[in-house]
Structure 1
């Protein structure tokens, strides 16, 4: 009997995540939304308003991958699966990948790459300003997501910088809320707010627990 077959569910998950094919499989799965959008754009499968569909879909996938990234650490702790941490960086870069596609879709289809017009739109419309601020923060995180950046910044400064992912989450949710406010459509906003609220609460509990423990002694 193989070690995988004889192991319990948690041990099986750890063995699968350490398999040499785990990284390329997760990479391939993360690319599937892009492949579908590319296929749909080429073969006219995006509906009556393809431009709006692309802008909306890339934004939605950015939020979904952001939720996945923020879920990695709680899932790693709750399931006692340290190997999950291996994929956090890759998933974080996919957040940036889909955010870049989102920005490109807006810049191309809505603004025809009119840089001056984009600048005026950012200054004039709060939800675009908030979204662009999240993009700038994500750019800093993407550029410093490699081991060389950790050595250059030092572990403490690097960790402090990358905690701004929670600021990105708040800005992304606000961007989504304001965008849907114009159509008075808050159902999806509530779903993402609930997911991000739970994930951020788990992180907050982990942060304050040591201080509560010290006070109780």
Structure 2
């Protein structure tokens, strides 16, 4: 059984949603029968790699609000992230373009390390204040999860996996996905947003029940 997830590294709700799904899987008896596949989605494809604004100024401009509004929103988000076991440090976030980070995840997937790459990128961006738009940061993250440094460097300097990232984003448009995180279970059930753990548990149970029913009816 398959769980497909469209998400962006720069999306805090994607990180929280990942944690909620993981918790649901940890508590689900048949979790080992599910395979998780990550799909790319850029919330801001036109984002600069080196912006001239911090996260608060960027959010304020995006939503037409004040910087104080953005700071309060992030304080509230910090609490939600903490409840999910995430060390969320908005003061340290460096807003940037996530396209190359998505390419790194695609490279990692070729050796079964996509989930590790996703987790390390989330942590780097939201907790550690690392600049995930820069190649030197991405090379270090790649080597931290066991990828060959020269292979990561060569990938980033070229166009490898660019088509795969864009194909994911095109598929999201075809499926009508307009926001992330977006979870698709066996191409039958969808969960949109960082829903509570029990919502993911229900989706897992439905998928498993469907599989058991199909097995019996064969």
What is the TM-score when the length of structure 2 is the normalising length? 0.27
Could you say which structure has the higher strand fraction? 2
What is the TM-score when the length of structure 1 is the normalising length? 0.27
Point out which structure has higher relative CO (alpha carbons under 8 A, 6+ apart): 2
Could you say which structure has the higher helix fraction? 1
